[in-house]
Amino acid sequence: MAFRTNLTKVPLTVALFFLTGAIFSLDMRDEYEGATTWLLYFILAIPVAKLYSPRVLLFAISGWSLLIAVKLVQLSPTGHVGTSIFNRSIGMIILWTMAFLLYRQRSLGQLISEEEHRVTAILDGALDAVIAINAHSRITAWNPQAEKMFGFRREEAVGKLLPDLIIPPAFRDAHARGLQRFVETGEGPIMNRRIEVMALHRDGREFPVELSVMPLRSGRTVSFCAFVRDITARRELETTLRQAREVAESASQAKSDFVANISHEIRTPLNAICGTTELLLTTCLTPAQRRYAEMCLKASHTLLQLVTELLDFSRIESGRLQLELKPYDLRQLVERTIGLLSHRAEQKGLILSAHIEDDLPALIKGDAFRLQQVLLNLVSNALKFTSQGSVDITAFVVDKEPNCPRFRLSVTDSGIGIPPEDLERIFDRFTQVDSAASRQHGGVGLGLAICKRLIALMGGRIWAESSPGKGSTFIVDMPFSPVGDSDSPCAASPPMAAIGSAAPTASEPKGLAILIAEDSAESRELIHYWFEDTPHRVESVADGEQAVQRYRAGRYDLVLMDLQMPGMDGFSATRAIRAWETAQKREAVPIIALTANAFREAAEQGAAAGCTGILTKPIGRSLLLDTVARVGSRAVAPSVHAVPTPMQTRLPADTAQRITQQLADRRPQFLRNRRKDLIALREAAARGDYDTIGLLGHRIKGIAGSYGFPDMGTLGHHLEAAAKAADLPAVQAQLTQMAALLEQCDKAA
Ligand code: ADP
């Protein structure tokens, strides 16, 4: 192409040489020194500047200047030298000036056209359609992608009005208004940002495009350039993905619902299987029958745990798990966990201990129930995978930053440890390091997955540090909010599973009619005693059947229902009361379940039976009265919800002292009762009466803490567990310990 262009210039170049020669010979013949002859070089400079490169022009001008100078030398010194020098100097200056100007214009023009070519090449190669319009919406640029996208060729599009060509009729007015607004005010909401609009194809089809429009200002005029991308495929993909996600989500929701429902349904008969197998084990059985029944019980417990974990997991997965934010005492939580698992530690000869740093506030806010669930799981695992040594729980504040304080709770064991490559994996569902070992120990690999999700829901983090053979440490890092003055004083209580919506509010103490169903005379007496000096009227009965009868005959504002009672238990009594209320179209009164069993199942079964809330024994006076005030206020005056200040429920110092004193006065009687229990327990052990042992153990567990004998409470717990397992040696061991403990107490007294 360049070669051909050069060829066409050859005659022109030859002509220019001839013309130059002609002008030079004319100039040489000119005797007088007029300006006419060399002025012709100027005229020749114009086509040279237009047709040749700036370099050729410079070359030509230099040549002509030389020729002018030659003529100057040839002039006779006598002639018109002065005029000639002047004329020719002026001529040369003009020629060079002209050359400079022509050169510059030519260079600029060349630059501009080169630039234009480059821009056109870029736009033509762009993956997006590029369209430019002027301030009147006339198309000034249209690249090949625009041709493909809209179906109009460049020649057809350029010069046309943009709205007529590619904007669907429904949007043309908006386009005109937007353009006018921008021209007048310089503002436009769609300028310089990505927007998605509908565009029109030549065949009349409308399709979605993504575009970004840039205003281009040049002096007072403005034009616009738009990059347009067809997003039909993307939209279709998005729709398909959304539909697929909706289908997957609803399938996952249906699965979670199914698992949750089925787990719940399975648990009820499973509970019955566990219960009746336990009953069966208390009867006279041949050794083989006992072995089979024990195997059945063990398998039922494993299945129950699995179903409970599945239920929890599916609840968390489906986002149906509600966390509570209530004050609780982390120390009590840890102590309770130890109390629940110390028997298992003893059975394996392991030391289970806890150390809580003093810098942890007495009360913090959070979901104590779920945190205890996590801790129980971690400690159970530690006990499971440790054959000798110890399991230690520690808690301390890691970040005292007032805006976001955090504490760390860790469980360290001296067990088998975990290989480094499994440290993260074990938090995945159904993942176990050694499935053979886990089969031996039980469990399906859901516990840590639940812990991880629970802790994440609480805003914390959980991880494990371990190496094989050197034990493991599971660490929970949790943010916490310290309890402020405005928080309910029930803060001092162990976690109350507020089943339903027990708001942490209370009204002024009002006299309530309270019915207590509690089989232990000692507990009844203690509760009566707790209510002394209060405006409440309290009546008590010894079992569920009496509770239902008394409730139907009288008018009560609140019921305190022990869950484990011989004969009709608290669950059945609550169900019967609720059924009667429904039949009578009476409003449901709050029923607070009392239990010495801190397990989640108790809370859930209580809720299923119709209880309003649950209190875990041992129950202190202030916790009991606060709870009654809180729950009772809703029963008596549902609209009154004054937030109690700590003063409202805190006892005056002298009263508190009096109560402490009276409790101390009652301790000898408590110990006398335990001695009677010891005799009854020994007799029961002698005749293999695990029912009585379990019942007495359960009672001791529930009441001992209230009198300030936590060790006795733990002993009661172990007795109950040993009776449940029909483990006579364990029962005997506990009775020996009980005798020793009573002796110690006597000595201390
Ligand atoms: P499960 O205990 O029911 O199998 P988890 O999710 O609680 O399920 O634990 C998953 C696995 O992590 C366990 O099977 C075990 O392999 C490993 N693991 C958990 N805790 C410990 C521990 N303290 N020491 C050693 N291995 C542990």
pLDDT for res 411: 97
Reduced to 3 states (helix: H, G, I; strand: E, B; else coil), residue 442 is coil
Q: Is the dihedral of CA 309, 312, 314, 317 positive or negative?
A: negative
Tell how far the Cα of 406 is from the centroid of ligand 1, in angstroms: 26
- Which pair of tokens denotes residue 45? 């400079």
Question: CB 338: neighbour CB atoms within 10 A?
Answer: 18
Cα-Cα end-to-end distance for the chain: 119
Task: Show Cβ contacts of residue 374 under 8 Å, excluding neighbours closer than 6 positions.
Answer: 451, 454, 455, 462, 476
Q: What is the pTM of this model?
A: 0.45
Q: Three-state SS across 591-637?
A: EEEEECCCCHHHHHHHHHHCCCEEEECCCCHHHHHHHHHHHHHHHHC
- Quote the DSSP letter at residue 507: -
pLDDT for res 558: 94
Which residue of 448, 466, 470, 475 sits with most ligand 1 atoms within 8 Å of its CB, as the best mutation to test the pocket?
A: 448
- Quote the DSSP letter at residue 645: P
Tell how far the Cα of 272 is from the centroid of ligand 1, in angstroms: 29
pLDDT for res 9: 74
Q: How far apart are CA 606 and CA 563, in angstroms?
A: 8
Tell how far the Cα of 434 is from the centroid of ligand 1, in angstroms: 9
Over its C-alpha atoms, the chain yields an Rg (Å, rounded) of 48
> Can you name the residues that pair with 472 across neighbouring β-strands?
413, 466
pLDDT for res 497: 36
Closest C-alpha among 746, 666, 733, 669 to residue 697: 733
Spatial contact of 234 and 275, defined as CB atoms under 8 Å apart: no
pLDDT for res 643: 28
Taking the chain (749 residues) in consecutive chunks of 10 residues, what is each chunk's mean pLDDT? 56 87 80 63 81 81 83 64 69 79 76 84 88 90 93 93 92 85 78 86 93 85 90 92 89 77 74 70 85 87 81 78 83 81 85 90 86 92 93 88 84 95 90 72 83 92 94 93 54 35 43 90 83 87 90 91 86 86 85 75 75 78 80 46 32 58 76 88 87 88 80 86 85 87 77
Task: Show Cβ contacts of residue 706 under 8 Å, excluding neighbours closer than 6 positions.
Answer: 526, 617, 618, 619, 620, 663
Q: Is residue 704 within 6 Å of ligand 1 at its C-beta?
A: no
Which residue has the least CA distance to atom 4 on ligand 1? 445
pLDDT for res 76: 57
Q: Kind of pairing, strands 406-413 and 390-399?
A: antiparallel
pLDDT for res 623: 76
Question: CB 702: neighbour CB atoms within 10 A?
Answer: 28
- Which pair of tokens denotes residue 607? 């809720």
Tell how far the Cα of 266 is from the centroid of ligand 1, in angstroms: 25
Closest C-alpha among 683, 636, 596, 356 to residue 508: 636
Q: How far apart are CA 200 and CA 177, in angstroms?
A: 19
pLDDT for res 386: 94
Spatial contact of 155 and 170, defined as CB atoms under 8 Å apart: no
Q: Is residue 382 within 6 Å of ligand 1 at its C-beta?
A: yes
Q: Is residue 378 within 6 Å of ligand 1 at its C-beta?
A: no
What's phi and psi for 450, nearest 5 deg?
Answer: -65, -45
